[in-house]
């Protein structure tokens, strides 16, 4: 059992107090004994000597003793030479034995005054005894007077009782003081203990009391300094950790640190997202259970066993198709080593790569047809075709048409390349969109007449916009050109206007329309619904793609509504005031 500090203080100090008080009491009792024997004994001796003077002649010992008793208020005993008690004023003689061995009697037999303080063997009362020799011829050899100690104390020594009471009072007061002091001391120690416990914990640690500036106060100051120092260090560490986590959280690569036992030390959000997890794994989770990609486990194992960085390309099909380049680097230290896993997403770059390849293939394909035809007709002419009066003119026209097609293709490619440049800038100016539309409609009027397709611009007021006039004119021209091109013996209606903060432009035709499944794709490069027809009409497959890019650069949007067999409506909306486009 461990006693509390307060109880222990109380017990040890209490013992000291009790010991001191007891010693003092014993000393006091000793002093009292001395006083009883010496000072009070002298008074008794005087009485004994007086009685001794009376006993020589008389024979009536009992009377002498009781008279002396009533005179001096003392017990008086007359003792013969052989130790027998001849008379006793308070105790019947039958109860009294031989008194020759009593120390005061022994001294009186020796001719001296004997004094003694002891318990009476006959009466079991504590007495102060004084015995004096009775000189003379009578049978009385010794006169002994005695007074009960209690009686002396009652009459002569009230101060002793007071001092004993005072001693008790001192002890009690000492205990009370001790109780208070030890409580205060233990309280201060406990307060320091609480402060010490709080150091290094989350939240604010209580401050230790530094006053009074005694040992505990100094200890308090040291604890406070320690706490301050610790807090600063913990804050610095936390800042460092937060910085590191912020860096990891904002990395575009997925990062995971896996310890030697295959448990997660840290996983950033990006890695969790790449693996389709809602949030990063908690530290201590088995990485295997979190990632559920066996290839990653193999890679971790390989990095550990080969003790070098291992890199591999990984294809994941869930949660979505992805291509990742994974690097596993063992971080050294005692085996099995922790491994740093970095997942780099190649999906987008692979998609772009594929787009580029497709584009090059498409462009080559588009160029090959006119080039083959050019070369064929040119060779035919060179190899005697010039003499063929009947056909040469047609050949030359074909050569010119193919060159025109090539030129159109190259121009569209250049326009698209220009629009797709990452640093493309719009040459913004304020102009009337209606006036620009009128010019484009006028430019196509002849083609519309040839196609037997009335082309009408519904009249209205000016629509002032801020934008790149050349690009917006090209977008309108492409939409008008398509409508006229694909609509035979139908009609094309053009409308434009403005609402709130937007300008809108719309071309409605009664042409063949576009099947629903092709509608989302017609704005892609080289996508054609009817390839043969597009080629026949001199289309490059890039017109709508150019429209989409131009409108997106103006922070606008294009849309298409079409019903096969009834016609199509292509339209775009752009903000009236220039805003930055989101690419």
Residues in the site for ligand ADP, rule: CB under 6 A? Answer: 478, 482-483, 486, 509, 511-512, 514, 522, 527-530, 534, 539-545, 568
Nearer to ligand ADP, 145 or 484 (CB): 484
Residues facing residue 18 across a β-bridge: none
Residue 526 is given by DSSP the state T
Please, which residues have CB within 8 angstroms of residue 365's CB and are 6 or more apart in sequence? none
The CB density around residue 448, as the number of other CB atoms within 10 Å, is 20
Using only the alpha carbons of the chain, give its radius of gyration.
63
Smallest distance from the beta carbon of 474 to ligand ADP, in angstroms?
Answer: 12
The least CB distance from residue 404 to ligand ADP, in Å, is 13
DSSP alpha helix (H) spans, 36-60: 41-54
Minimum Å gap between C-beta 298 and ligand ADP is 47
- Pick the closer one to ligand ADP by CB: 137 or 565: 565
Nearer to ligand ADP, 438 or 518 (CB): 518
Contact 163, 110 (CB under 8 A): no
- Number of other residues whose CB lies within 10 A of the CB of residue 316: 18
Identify which of residues 182 and 568 has a Cβ nearer to ligand ADP in the complex.
568
Cα–Cα separations (whole angstroms), residue 32 to 157, 162, 416: 8, 13, 128
Nearest-approach distance from CB 327 to ligand ADP, in angstroms: 42
Nearest residue (CB) to ligand ADP, 188 versus 525: 525
Q: Least distance (Å) from ligand ADP to the CB of residue 524?
A: 8
Find the shortest distance in angstroms from Cβ 511 to ligand ADP.
Answer: 4
Task: Of 478, 482, 498, give the one whose Cα is nearest residue 490.
Answer: 482
CB of 437 to ligand ADP, least distance (A): 16
Smallest gap from residue 471 Cβ to ligand ADP (A): 16
- Between 341 and 479, CB nearer to ligand ADP: 479
Residue 504 parent element (H or E)? strand 502-509
Q: Which is nearer to ligand ADP, 171 or 529 (CB)?
A: 529
Of residues 132 and 522, the one with the C-beta less far from ligand ADP: 522
Distance in angstroms (rounded) separating the CA atoms of residues 219 and 571: 83
CA dihedral 111, 117, 120, 126 (to 10 degrees): 150
Q: Which is nearer to ligand ADP, 89 or 482 (CB)?
A: 482
Provide DSSP, 100-149: TTSHHHHHHHTTS-EEEEEE-TTT--EEEEEEEE--SSSSEEEEEEEEEH
Pick from 98, 94, 62, 97: which is nearest to 78 by CA? Answer: 62
Of 41 and 513, the one with the shorter C-beta distance to ligand ADP is: 513
Is 469 in contact with 429 (CB distance < 8 Å)? yes
State the nearest-atom distance from the C-beta of 440 to ligand ADP, in Å. Answer: 15
CB of 256: closest distance to ligand ADP in angstroms? Answer: 45
CB neighbours of residue 304 within 10 Å: 20
> Degrees (nearest 5) of the Cα angle 123, 128, 130?
110
């Amino acid at each position: 059992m461990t006693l509390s500090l307060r109880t222990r203080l109380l017990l040890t100090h209490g013992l000291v107090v009790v010991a001191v008080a007891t010693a003092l009491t014993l000393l006091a009792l000793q002093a009292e004994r001395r006083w009883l024997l010496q000072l009070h004994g002298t008074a008794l001796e005087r009485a004994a000597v007086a009685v001794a003077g009376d006993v020589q002649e008389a024979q009536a010992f009992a009377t002498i003793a009781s008279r002396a008793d009533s005179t001096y208020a003392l017990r008086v005993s007359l003792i013969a030479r052989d130790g027998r008690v001849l008379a006793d004023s308070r105790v019947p003689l039958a109860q009294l034995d031989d008194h020759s061995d009593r120390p005061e009697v022994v001294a009186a037999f020796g001719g001296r005054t004997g004094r003694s303080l002891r318990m009476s063997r006959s009466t079991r009362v504590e007495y102060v005894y004084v015995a004096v020799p009775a000189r003379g011829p009578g049978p009385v050899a010794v006169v002994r007077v005695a007074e009960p100690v209690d009686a002396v104390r009652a009459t002569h020594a009230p101060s002793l009782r007071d001092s004993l009471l005072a001693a008790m009072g001192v002890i009690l007061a000492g205990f009370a003081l001790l109780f208070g002091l030890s409580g205060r001391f233990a309280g201060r120690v406990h307060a320091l203990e609480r402060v010490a416990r709080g150091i290094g914990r989350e939240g604010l640690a209580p401050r230790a009391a530094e006053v009074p500036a005694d040992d505990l106060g100094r200890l308090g100051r040291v604890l406070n300094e320690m706490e301050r120092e610790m807090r600063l260090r913990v804050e610095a560490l936390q800042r460092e950790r937060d910085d590191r986590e912020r860096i990891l959280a904002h990395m575009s690569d997925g990062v995971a640190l896996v310890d030697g036992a295959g448990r997660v030390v840290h996983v950033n959000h990006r890695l969790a997202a790449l693996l389709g997890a809602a949030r990063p794994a908690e530290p201590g989770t088995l990485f295997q259970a979190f990632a559920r990609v066996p290839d990653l486990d193999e890679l971790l194992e390989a990095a550990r066993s080969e003790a070098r960085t291992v890199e591999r390309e990984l294809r994941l099909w869930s949660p979505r198709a992805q291509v990742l380049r994974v690097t596993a680097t063992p971080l050294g230290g005692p085996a099995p080593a922790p491994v740093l896993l970095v997942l780099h997403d190649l999906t987008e770059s692979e998609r772009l790569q594929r787009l580029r390849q497709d584009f090059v293939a498409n462009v080559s394909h588009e160029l090959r047809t006119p080039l083959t035809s050019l070369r064929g007709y040119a060779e035919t002419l060179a190899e005697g075709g010039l003499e063929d009066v009947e056909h040469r003119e047609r050949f030359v026209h074909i050569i010119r048409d193919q060159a025109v097609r090539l030129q159109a293709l190259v121009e569209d490619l250049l326009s698209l390349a220009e629009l797709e440049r990452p640093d493309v800038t719009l040459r913004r100016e304020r102009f009337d969109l209606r006036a620009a539309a009128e010019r484009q409609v006028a430019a196509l009027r002849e083609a519309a007449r040839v196609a037997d397709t009335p082309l009408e611009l519904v009249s209205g007021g000016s629509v002032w916009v801020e934008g790149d006039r050349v690009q917006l004119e090209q977008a309108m021209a492409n939409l008008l050109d398509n409508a006229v091109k694909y609509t035979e013996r139908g009609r094309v209606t053009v409308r434009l206007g403005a609402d709130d903060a937007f300008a809108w432009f719309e071309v409605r035709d009664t042409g063949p329309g576009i099947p629903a499944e092709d509608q989302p794709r017609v704005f892609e490069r080289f996508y054609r619904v009817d390839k043969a027809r597009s080629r026949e009409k001199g289309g490059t497959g890039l017109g709508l793609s150019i429209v989409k890019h131009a409108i997106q650069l103006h922070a606008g949007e294009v849309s298409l509504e079409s019903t096969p067999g009834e016609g199509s409506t292509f339209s775009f909306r752009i903000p009236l005031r220039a805003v930055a486009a989101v690419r």
